Structure 1
Amino acid sequence: MSSTSSAAGIRARVATVLAGVLLMALPGTPVAAAPAIADPAAPAQPGPPHIVGEQTVPAYSYADAIRESVWVQTRADTDGDGVRDRVAVDLVRPREAAAAGIRVPVIMDASPYYLCCGRGNESERKTYDAAGVIAKAPLFYDNYFVPRGYAFAAVDLAGTARSTGCEDVGGRAEVGSATAVVDWLNGRANAFTADGQPVRAEWSTGRVGMIGKSWDGSVANGVAATGVPGLATIVPISAISSWYDYQRYQGVLRAADYPGYLHSYVNGRGDEACAQVLARLRTDSAEETGDYNAYWAQRDYRPAAGRVRASVFVAHGVNDLNVTTNQFARWWQELAEQGVPRKLWLHQAGHEDPFDVRRAEWVATLHSWFDYWLQGLRNGIMDEPRVDLETAPGVWTTQRDWPATGTRKVRVALGAGDGVTGTLGGRGARPGQERSYVDGSLTESALVAEPSTAAAGRLVFLSGALTAPVRISGSASVRLRIRVDRPTTELTARLVDYGTAERIQYGSSEGVRTLATESCWGAATAADDACYRDTEEITAVTDHAVLTRGWLDAAHHRSLRFSSPLRPDRWYTVTVPLNAYDAVLPAGHLLGLVLGQSDPEFTETDDQDATVRVDLGRSELILPLVGRAGLPRVDVAPPVVTAPPAQPAPARTGPWDNRQLP
């Protein structure tokens, strides 16, 4: 073990112990620290009714819960009206606990989606009664946890729904609007009722756990990166940790006007109120350059991992094409280096909540996690393996950490093969042996189909048939020595598993099917029944699958902060990073590396029609492999692979639009 990893491990253990001590010591906690010397004759002091042993139980009425709205004042005036922004917070909390003077912690989901678009698989929106009081909060968090001694806070981010201000899409105003709510729950910020009366959160212990999928989880990451006191834990699900990496792929534009699109989609104000903010988003994001600048640095939470005081429970799908896997993987790595207490769930579906993948186990784990970090209950969850991993459809395992213990970086040489299909493994080509390809703007289906057949617009390299299972765990990359006859071009790379297997079908459905049956998760009212349609993973037996992808604007090969146009008479060494992945390739399968250029289904670029020459002997694939198994040696001709021909590309009547909602 290196000294760095050893120190990180020590910090993690110390942080876990200190966090537990602080949880027990904070004022208002419903669990009192034990006295140094107990009197056996003294009667036992009763605890709050929602705690039995080391677990919370449903002890309070959900139907009779206190439902109220407050508007928390932030530090910003984003709409420039001379008044600081106020964010709407809809609260549900146990009435009996309030009557007994029992303070409760808060589970909080801060979202831009509550009224515009909805949350969860069934796109639930907030609903209100005739007096404007919250009647239904989306998702099951309030139904399940309020009877167990928690409050739930559904926060409308600045500029959305019933909040004032303007949305700045991952920026300081957005993060600050959620941070202000944590401050209010700890007595450090002001809040008001609808009629302007000041209101304090005297019922709160001050301990807050943030949770949310996609944009909501991204906000949780951003708030944790501020180090705000009182935020005890976050549960980011399919969440963004760098907005640059969400809207740019290593200098390549994902889609035009993405910041403006996201702002306008969730904007809860009139167009004129936020026109200046929208204009700044479009200008400062520097779409014309693709550079990482001050705008993007403000929306990159990873460098601030050292400020994180909260524990972090990450959940993500390894086949998420919306919020790609590097978002969790790089955040996870930064948190690990800082010794942040953490936990990870990885499933094989796409942009999905674990509630719709492994429902009962997810709710039980979430319950234990919040009980530990918000209620101070010693339930053993931090003694369990850190990672839950879906290795095949419906097959789960646990492991100590991620990437898997024993992962090593393996350099895999590229060979010329038979002149049509190159090889992966073995001695590889001699330096100076070249292959070239012309940009074909191919769809992914065309890129990876029939790898043993010549096709313009790509280069394909195949391993031999695997003699033993091979596991990839972590982030691969492709190091290329290239010459390009244009100032730049998009470079793309894909790892493909060629071999028959049952796989999650994670395309437009995200790999999950909604069923006709339903199950209920918590208490109910007439307005909110806590019942949700059941789901199942969608699988099919296929003969190949793309594992992971990577993109690079070649002119950004030196730095993402500036471009360096390529000269046609020079060779350049560039690295195309691939998204993090975890998979086991069975014996008999082949691993393929497919190189392309412009990628219309995933990105948008005007730099097309370039010819790229690749020096195979000075290029390589770098794989994160677990254990000693590697790729079989292939020195001359690659195996012949018969795969279905490419499917016709989708009809294209105008520019591609790759914008999605996080």
Structure 2
Amino acid sequence: MPVYSYADAVRESVWVNTPLDNDRDGVPDRVAVDVVRPRETADRGLKIPVILEASPYYSCCGRGNESERKQYDANGVITKQPLFYDNYFVPRGYAFVAADLAGTNRSTGCMDVGGREEVLSAKAVVDWLNGRATATYADGTPAVATTWTNGRTGMIGKSWDGSVANGVAATGVRGLETIVPIAAISSWYDYQRYNGVLRSPDYPEYLHRYVNGRPGTTCAPVVQQLDEGSDDATGNYNDYWAERDYRRDAGRVRASVLIAHGLNDTNVTTGQFAQWWSRLNVPKKVWLAQQGHVDPFDIRRDAWVALLHRWFDRYLQGLRNGIDREPQVTIETAPGTWVSERTWPAAAARKTRVALGDGDGVTGTLGGGSTSGSRTWTDNPDLSEQAAVAAPNSTVPGRVAFLSAPLTREVRVSGTPSVTLRVKVDQPTTELTARLVDYGTATRVNFDGRGEGITTLATESCWGASTALDDACYRDTAEDVVTNDLAVLARGWQDAAHHVSLRFVTPLRPGKWYSVTVPMQATDQRIAAGHVLGLIIQASDDEYSSPQSGGATITLDLRASALTLPLAGALPKPGATAPIVSTAPPAKRTAPPRFQPLLP
């Protein structure tokens, strides 16, 4: 219950010492940490748990839908923390701690974008809270946390902030009892590469500069390391990326995990949560919404705050409130419709192989197989997603289309689809792009819109206590919905020369047949009766990636190619030709996906 005074809370700024020195100044790097905690607990000698958000965004860009930044008084002591966590949880007996990641805002060191410095700088804060690291105030006097905290820490954050929570949990650090990663990265390779395909050139260096808080050329050597280690030239997975792959150490995670992710997030794509989730062997829960890169606080505010409150009470306060015995999964199945389920992917989903059929010679079928069919097309770098998925019964240069018959009953795709293509290419490599499409009119969340599925309203609601300098009130939001004729359910990309391994390039020999599997992003969607499921295949995708090769001519052997779906239900048997689907193209995207930074 909110029994402690937020207005009288202790507000202090400290600097935590780390064992690192990647800015090479001969002094251990220090992490700036801003604390808000109930004064009454200190007066009574009570020790309380901590909610920690470690972020690179506190000064450069802000947090939340309203881009709030930290604010300080004339003495450099925190007066305003972004977001509602301190306003809501400090009166309920928690401390809130906001840490500037190394190289950002008031911290020293240099940001290494998901690497050792970033993760260990945040881990040092957990160590300080548990008496294993030292800190000082601005005047150099010691700052000791164990006088007011029991060390039980929960990390939370959206996007980059949630990614570092994943990274710290993967160290197995003691005292970290739970994490809440929201739209978070679990593998930086998969964020900046799509199976060997470059997302955007010089992306690590771009992200470093976006959040860098150090003067001049202090971090030039680190930027050079980012450039060399990320290896744009090959797209290979190497030691640089392995250091930033938290999934490898999922077995070391001790903390419980509450995940939230948008099923239509094209910034931090859904494979990030799905592959992390599947490797965790701890108490866990997941919320999946139909939005894009959006915090659940701005989707379903009442329910999300209530869930967070119960989750932290259970895993930080130790209250046996039953949340650990409730269904693991909460999914938005349609705008405003939420269901709870026992597991994810859906228990009823089965891996289903769907053959690619000849169809009418223009559009193939999903199911039915092929006698001696093939398709040949030439890469069209200018082909947008909008044009690629529209008019599936027409010839569109640069893409091939396959359609199911109209569904006789609803089916559900729950998990990670993929398509295996038997191809012959006239160049040493090509990008291969696959899209799974639901053709049929429905009212859907407008995740392609400017708000990625939400609209910000003029009204406000308050979530916790306020002061004159830090209020708990935020503009309300509503789901942004649209009625349209189709929706892209999942996307996937693969560099054909990485078909053997992501660690090295195996150039294709022109004229030779190869089997290349294109993994798609995880999804959970229901396709209504009467709708048609489509598979669209093209080569390079300049909208979502930065292809390093283009112009290839590709021949696809239908007999040796197939779509693999995690399917609950069954697709109908195809007819002799692909069904006619009359669809208008989707609305033009208003938020370009390729160069989005990690903030909202």
Q: Which interval holds the TM-score relative to the shorter structure? A: over 0.9
* In structure 2, C-alpha distance between the alignment counterparts of 1:390 and 1:91, rounded to whole Å: 35
Q: Aligned to 2:559, what secondary structure does the other structure show?
A: helix
Match of 1:146 among 70, 74, 90: 90
Please name the residue that 2:166 is paired with.
221
Please name the residue that 1:197 is paired with.
141
Please name the residue that 2:199 is paired with.
254
Q: Which amino acid aligns with 1:261?
A: Y
Please name the residue that 2:499 is paired with.
557
Match status 1:496 vs 2:433: no
Q: Aligned to 1:375, what secondary structure does the other structure show?
A: coil
Greater C-alpha Rg: 1
Report the CA distance shift for 1:555/1:649 in structure 2 as closer, same or farther (over 3 A): same
1:645 Cα offset (Å) = 4.9
Match status 1:296 vs 2:236: no
1:648 Cα offset (Å) = 7.9
1:643 Cα offset (Å) = 1.4
Are 2:4 and 2:38, in contact at CA under 8 Å, matched by a contact in 1? yes
Q: Which amino acid aligns with 1:493?
A: A
Match of 1:317 among 262, 272, 275: 262
Match of 2:421 among 450, 462, 480: 480
Q: Aligned to 1:61, what secondary structure does the other structure show?
A: coil
Please name the residue that 2:384 is paired with.
443
Q: Which amino acid aligns with 1:443?
A: S
Residues 54-76 of structure 1, C-alpha deviation per residue, up to 9 Å, x if partnerless?
Answer: xxx00100000000011000110
Please name the residue that 2:584 is paired with.
644
Matched ranges for 1:364-443 at <5 A: 364-426=306-368, 428-430=369-371, 432-441=372-381, 442-443=383-384
Q: Which amino acid aligns with 2:407?
A: L
Are 1:443 and 1:649, in contact at CA under 8 Å, matched by a contact in 2? no
1:605 Cα offset (Å) = 1.3
* In structure 2, C-alpha distance between the alignment counterparts of 1:222 and 1:647, rounded to whole Å: 37
Please name the residue that 1:33 is paired with.
none
Aligned-pair RMSD on alpha carbons? 1.3
Are 2:485 and 2:586, in contact at CA under 8 Å, matched by a contact in 1? no
Match status 1:110 vs 2:54: yes
Please name the residue that 1:340 is paired with.
282
Are 1:446 and 1:647, in contact at CA under 8 Å, matched by a contact in 2? no
Are 1:385 and 1:398, in contact at CA under 8 Å, matched by a contact in 2? yes
Q: Aligned to 1:618, what secondary structure does the other structure show?
A: strand
Are 1:486 and 1:568, in contact at CA under 8 Å, matched by a contact in 2? yes
1:661 Cα offset (Å) = 2.5
Report the CA distance shift for 1:143/1:366 in structure 2 as closer, same or farther (over 3 A): same
Q: Which amino acid aligns with 1:542?
A: N
* In structure 2, C-alpha distance between the alignment counterparts of 1:606 and 1:289, rounded to whole Å: 9
Matched ranges for 1:585-600 at <5 A: 585-600=527-542
* In structure 1, C-alpha distance between the alignment counterparts of 2:509 and 2:142, rounded to whole Å: 64
Q: Aligned to 2:347, what secondary structure does the other structure show?
A: coil
Please name the residue that 1:276 is paired with.
221
Residues 477-521 of structure 1, C-alpha deviation per residue, up to 9 Å, x if partnerless?
Answer: 001100000100000000000000000111232111100001000
Q: Aligned to 2:157, what secondary structure does the other structure show?
A: strand
* In structure 1, C-alpha distance between the alignment counterparts of 2:465 and 2:271, rounded to whole Å: 37
Please name the residue that 2:23 is paired with.
79
1:98 Cα offset (Å) = 0.8
* In structure 1, C-alpha distance between the alignment counterparts of 2:357 and 2:438, rounded to whole Å: 18
Q: Which amino acid aligns with 2:136?
A: F
Match status 1:243 vs 2:188: yes
Match status 1:510 vs 2:452: yes
Are 1:170 and 1:243, in contact at CA under 8 Å, matched by a contact in 2? yes
Report the CA distance shift for 1:645/1:321 in structure 2 as closer, same or farther (over 3 A): closer
Residues 595-616 of structure 1, C-alpha deviation per residue, up to 9 Å, x if partnerless?
Answer: 0111111000131110110000
Q: Aligned to 2:217, what secondary structure does the other structure show?
A: helix
Residues 435-478 of structure 1, C-alpha deviation per residue, up to 9 Å, x if partnerless?
Answer: 11110121000100000111110000000000000001000000
Q: Aligned to 1:175, what secondary structure does the other structure show?
A: helix
Please name the residue that 1:19 is paired with.
none
Match status 1:69 vs 2:13: yes
Percent sequence identity over matched residues? 64
Report the CA distance shift for 1:374/1:649 in structure 2 as closer, same or farther (over 3 A): closer
Please name the residue that 1:93 is paired with.
37
Please name the residue that 1:634 is paired with.
574
Are 1:190 and 1:199, in contact at CA under 8 Å, matched by a contact in 2? yes
Q: Which amino acid aligns with 1:231?
A: L
Match status 1:522 vs 2:467: no
Please name the residue that 2:517 is paired with.
575
Please name the residue that 1:285 is paired with.
230
Are 1:70 and 1:90, in contact at CA under 8 Å, matched by a contact in 2? yes
Residues 6-48 of structure 1, C-alpha deviation per residue, up to 9 Å, x if partnerless?
Answer: xxxxxxxxxxxxxxxxxxxxxxxxxxxxxxxxxxxxxxxxxxx
Q: Aligned to 2:177, what secondary structure does the other structure show?
A: strand
Q: Which amino acid aligns with 1:435?
A: R
Q: Aligned to 1:272, what secondary structure does the other structure show?
A: coil
1:133 Cα offset (Å) = 1.1
1:636 Cα offset (Å) = 1.7
Please name the residue that 1:127 is paired with.
71
The count of aligned residue pairs is 595
Report the CA distance shift for 1:222/1:288 in structure 2 as closer, same or farther (over 3 A): same
1:659 Cα offset (Å) = 4.6
* In structure 1, C-alpha distance between the alignment counterparts of 2:30 and 2:20, rounded to whole Å: 9
1:342 Cα offset (Å) = 0.4
* In structure 1, C-alpha distance between the alignment counterparts of 2:236 and 2:596, rounded to whole Å: 19
Structure 2 stretches lacking a partner, 5+ long: none
Q: Which amino acid aligns with 1:273?
A: T
Are 2:389 and 2:585, in contact at CA under 8 Å, matched by a contact in 1? no
Q: Which moved more, 1:465-474 or 1:599-608?
A: 599-608
TM-score (norm 1): 0.89
* In structure 1, C-alpha distance between the alignment counterparts of 2:296 and 2:535, rounded to whole Å: 30
* In structure 2, C-alpha distance between the alignment counterparts of 1:503 and 1:609, rounded to whole Å: 35
Q: Aligned to 2:218, what secondary structure does the other structure show?
A: helix
* In structure 2, C-alpha distance between the alignment counterparts of 1:566 and 1:476, rounded to whole Å: 25
Residues 324-362 of structure 1, C-alpha deviation per residue, up to 9 Å, x if partnerless?
Answer: 000000000011xxx211010000000000000000000
* In structure 2, C-alpha distance between the alignment counterparts of 1:661 and 1:317, rounded to whole Å: 14
Match of 1:327 among 258, 268, 272: 272
Report the CA distance shift for 1:85/1:490 in structure 2 as closer, same or farther (over 3 A): same
Please name the residue that 1:184 is paired with.
128
* In structure 2, C-alpha distance between the alignment counterparts of 1:562 and 1:660, rounded to whole Å: 28
Residues 91-134 of structure 1, C-alpha deviation per residue, up to 9 Å, x if partnerless?
Answer: 00000011001100000000000000000000000011122111
* In structure 2, C-alpha distance between the alignment counterparts of 1:270 and 1:542, rounded to whole Å: 49
Q: Which amino acid aligns with 1:483?
A: K
Please name the residue that 1:361 is paired with.
303
Structure 1 stretches lacking a partner, 5+ long: 1-56
Are 2:267 and 2:596, in contact at CA under 8 Å, matched by a contact in 1? no
Are 1:72 and 1:180, in contact at CA under 8 Å, matched by a contact in 2? yes
Residues 576-606 of structure 1, C-alpha deviation per residue, up to 9 Å, x if partnerless?
Answer: 0000000110100000000011111100013
Are 2:416 and 2:521, in contact at CA under 8 Å, matched by a contact in 1? yes
Are 1:603 and 1:658, in contact at CA under 8 Å, matched by a contact in 2? no
1:660 Cα offset (Å) = 2.7
* In structure 1, C-alpha distance between the alignment counterparts of 2:514 and 2:35, rounded to whole Å: 57
Please name the residue that 1:612 is paired with.
554
Please name the residue that 1:21 is paired with.
none
Match of 1:660 among 594, 597, 600: 597
1:270 Cα offset (Å) = 1.2
